[in-house]
Structure 1
Amino acid sequence: MRVYDSHTHLNDDAFYDDVPKWLQKAADLGVVEMNIVGSNKKLNDRALKLAEQYHQLHAIVGWHPEDAKNYDQAAEDELVTNLQNPLVVGLGEIGLDYHWDTSPRDVQRKVFARQLEIAADLHVPVSIHCRDAFADAYPLLKAAHVGDFGGVMHSFNGDPEWLNKFLDLGMEISYSGVASFKNAKEVHESVKQTPLDHLLVETDAPYLTPEPHRGEQNQPAYSRFVVMAVAKWKEIDPVEVAKTTYANAQRLFPVKNS
């Protein structure tokens, strides 16, 4: 079984000083390809460096809503330049976060909308972070015609009603370790109703560790357990989940010719 972790953070301090160790742990569990996702200048730069060093790692760069307050013209210019790099497969993670509110909400919305414009102009797919903000994120994604350039709701934790709204926009849905949590009933229902050809798996490591490793630091290897959780709720073979989500990730985030 070969697994594609579509959203992880080996650029995080928890991993960055010993990436080969974490790649080996991942390979031991069949996790052989990953998207390394940025959120600010430091993490974007690290994502690019890792993609330069390891053929199985692909960079996604962007400005996270928590860092939206630091987004300025210099940041945008660098972002646009980085998006031309063939090692970069997408723009993200971008969106809205009304849980932590580390950036003012009006600033978050402005920076989110601007990055969607850039994605549309350059025709690159987007990775969307949305926490406690579906009602505001949805109209921005709809107005941007996200289906024209592609996007994924990263670590989706909504109910089937929201699931169908985002699917109707032409988006993909990615599930993290939350899908394995015993009490995440709405997510379980959403997994069941997500068409397999629109579904991705991820770890969002070092966060959201799946069962049976809850309480430990998450790592890319554990995307295998997300595959197992998805297979459980959809009542299908984990090998089929792994194979299809791998193909879905490659389709949404195609590697460019250098």
Structure 2
Amino acid sequence: MTNQPRITDSHCHLDFPDFAGEVSEIVARAGAAGVHRMVTICTRMKNLPAVRAIAEAHDGVFFAAGVHPMRAAEEPPVTVGDLVALTGHPKFVGFGETGLDYHYTAESAEVQQHSLRIHIAAARETRLPLIIHARAADEDMTRILVEEYRAGPYSCVMHCFSSGARLARAALDLGFYLSMSGIAAFPKSQELRDIFAAAPLDRILLETDAPYLAPPPHRGKRNEPAYTAHTARVGADLFGLDYEAFAAATEANFDRLFTRAAQAVKAA
């Protein structure tokens, strides 16, 4: 047991080769740092069995699944029915990550947009949250999120948020959440920290995106869920709160959005 305030890593990739053979140890280190829950994200549907098995093997690990925008042109098309069928598993908590990435894969923009709308439809139908990846696509992302919300409400987190203030404001105006990753702790990320500081406290989540984007003092090394605590301390400073209060706020936010994970904890 740990005396650390409890926090949640809302987005990691425990099935990636970086963690092969170490998942149990990584989950244990997370628990020692106060990270009592993790959502491990499936980015290719063919990887779903491995991701699901990790969640099944660890009490505090839940999973989400979807088609990553950078893979949308490579993967077989996914349907709303395919995604809705995933909700039969009790540890399945959301759809994604999906979204738009024009930094590396702008040539597949049309396919990405279609895939995003499919994921939104599943989130709308099931009332489970959408997990959005957005990079170098702020204008189209804003347009699609707003258009789709007007067609029918849905819930969403902007994962690893590192986009501009306009997209942040559009997401917040729709009632969505912004997730703070290790990027927010990088020395040169003051503009991003300002965006988070201007957001309502009740719309902030924490994540690692592990194995990527380790915060200081681990920058440049493999990230892991335990390091969520470093980002949380940066967030507490941004909001002028002590660590325990900020941790409690982000826990309440996570529970409000990821209702299935919250219900599982209550039932345990």
Please indicate, yes or no, whether the TM-score normalized by the shorter chain is above 0.5. Answer: yes
Where 1:35 maps in the other structure, the secondary structure is strand
Query: Residues 113-147 of structure 1: CA distance to partner in whole angstroms, max 9, x if unpaired?
Result: 12111221222210000011111111111122188
Q: What letter corresponds to residue 14 of structure 2 in structure 1? A: L
Q: Which runs of 5+ in 1 are unaligned?
A: none
Cα distance change, pair 12–198 in 1 and its aligned pair in 2 (3 A): same
How far, CA to CA, are the matches of 1:104 and 1:141 in structure 2? 18
Q: How well do the aligned residues superpose, as a CA RMSD in angstroms?
A: 2.0
Match of 1:225 among 215, 230, 239: 230
- Stretches of 4+ aligned residues off by more than 6 angstroms: none
How far, CA to CA, are the matches of 2:69 and 2:196 in structure 1? 26
Match of 1:10 among 9, 14, 18: 14
How far, CA to CA, are the matches of 1:103 and 1:64 in structure 2? 15
Query: Residues 160-183 of structure 1: CA distance to partner in whole angstroms, max 9, x if unpaired?
Result: 333212100110110100110111
User: Is 1:173 aligned to residue 178 of structure 2?
Assistant: yes
Query: Residues 152-201 of structure 1: CA distance to partner in whole angstroms, max 9, x if unpaired?
Result: 00011133333212100110110100110111121110121111111001
What is the 5 A alignment of 1:36-185? 36-73=40-77, 77-101=81-105, 104-145=108-149, 148-185=153-190
How far, CA to CA, are the matches of 1:141 and 1:64 in structure 2? 17
Pick which of 158-167 and 132-141 moved more: 158-167
Do the aligned partners of 1:94 and 1:128 also contact (CA within 8 Å) in 2? yes
Do the aligned partners of 2:138 and 2:164 also contact (CA within 8 Å) in 1? no
Cα distance change, pair 122–103 in 1 and its aligned pair in 2 (3 A): farther
Identity of aligned residues (%): 33
- How many residue pairs get matched? 258
Q: What letter corresponds to residue 228 of structure 1 in structure 2? A: R
Where 1:127 maps in the other structure, the secondary structure is strand
Pick which of 196-205 and 225-234 moved more: 225-234
- TM-aligned CA deviation for residue 25 of structure 1: 1.1
- TM-aligned CA deviation for residue 10 of structure 1: 0.8
Q: What letter corresponds to residue 20 of structure 1 in structure 2? A: S
Do the aligned partners of 2:123 and 2:155 also contact (CA within 8 Å) in 1? no
Q: What letter corresponds to residue 130 of structure 1 in structure 2? A: A
How far, CA to CA, are the matches of 1:144 and 1:75 in structure 2? 17
Do the aligned partners of 2:120 and 2:154 also contact (CA within 8 Å) in 1? no
**Aligned counterpart, 2:37:** 33
User: Is 1:200 aligned to residue 215 of structure 2?
Assistant: no
With structure 1 as the length reference, what TM-score do the two structures score? 0.93
With structure 2 as the length reference, what TM-score do the two structures score? 0.90
